[in-house]
Amino acid sequence: MEKTYIITLIPGDGTGPEITETVKKVLAATGVRINWDTVIAGETALQKLGTPLPDNVIESIRKNKIALKGPLTTPIGTGFRSVNVALRQILNLYACLRPCKSYKGVKSRYQDLDLVLVRENTEDLYAGIEFAPESNEAKEIVKMSKGKAREGSAISIKPISKIGSEQIVRFAFEYAVKHKRKKVTAVAKANIMKITDGLFYDTAREVAKKYPSIEYEEKLVDNMCMQLVQKPELYDVLVLPNLYGDILSDLCAGLIGGLGIAPGANFGEDMALFEAVHGSAPKYTGMNKVNPTALLLSSKLMLDYIGETEKASRLEKALSAVIAEGRRVTYDLGGKSTTADMGDAIIERLG
């Protein structure tokens, strides 16, 4: 008898619900059996429940250990800088995985790219430890800086820990081994931030010694940006602290055609959240025209995670065939199809 999975579903805001509805139908067509535990977050939850991140969202993910999330809008003026960031920190989803792979039929200056970005998800400047210029903490830090920080400076603190760095670098190497990747590149700015980014590099070198079959190298983040634009084919798995990872993940998405085809996944020790990393596109709400590819590819990662690798492979092959054919795809891929019609075309390919 086929196993049935209970998975948390957060439909999202704006165009999220129509995208997730199409994804649910495609996943059902793969043959995987899923009971969806549907909860709401973001702007939708704020309007209905008075908070963008209700307790039952966290409870559901902790219980089910797996979640699929459509794009969320973080409402302005709430206590959350980002619902996405809050989810990662509350659930300790310390690793963000962003595969960047070329698909035939997607317009891009680059072809045959297949690299993976691994981003630390909980530390760095995204920890949100900030002080206003008039605060006692900021004034004290300005004094301690001995003139390096001007009076009236706003202050943001960048925590980088050995345990956090070790965790994320080990994740990158384990991913490389499992997926037969050949090289891991650690990216930071240790020539300037010698202590924080220096700790990240020192830790990465220690971890790398335990994986002699995988080539290890280091690149400064500014140089890495240039390298990715000039010769991205030289890179395989990139591992980065939080802020650099956020910036470079969008750069890498640009290399393959944009966020509309860029999947995302967040992993903790015993749970995972899969998501579309693009925005909720509220101006297109209800028009049934937004590309579902990013969330479909995130779902493919989810199927791999739960061990349904054959169904994951079939899903990706069907999706790539529809995109390559270019006949029943959404406007951003050069077609005129609706979200639902593109989903139906993929289902037909699944056979």
Residues with catalytic annotation? 126, 189, 222, 246
In the three-class reduction of DSSP (H, G, I as helix; E, B as strand; rest coil), residue 330 is classed as coil
**Residue 21: CA atoms inside 13 Å, Cβ hemisphere, count?**
14
Q: What does DSSP say about strands 237-240 and 114-120: parallel, antiparallel, or unpaired?
A: parallel
In the three-class reduction of DSSP (H, G, I as helix; E, B as strand; rest coil), residue 33 is classed as strand
Neighbours of 97 (CB within 10 A): 24
User: What crossing angle do the helices spanning 242-256 and 221-230 adopt, rounded to 10°?
Assistant: 10
Cβ 64 vs Cβ 37: under 8 Å: yes
List, in sequence order, the alpha helices (H) in the chain. Answer: 16-30, 42-49, 55-64, 83-90, 136-144, 162-178, 196-208, 221-230, 242-256, 293-305, 309-325, 339-350
**304: CB partners within 8 A, 6+ apart:** 312
Tokens 């059902």 -> residue = 28
In the three-class reduction of DSSP (H, G, I as helix; E, B as strand; rest coil), residue 146 is classed as coil
Read off the amino acid at residue 335: G
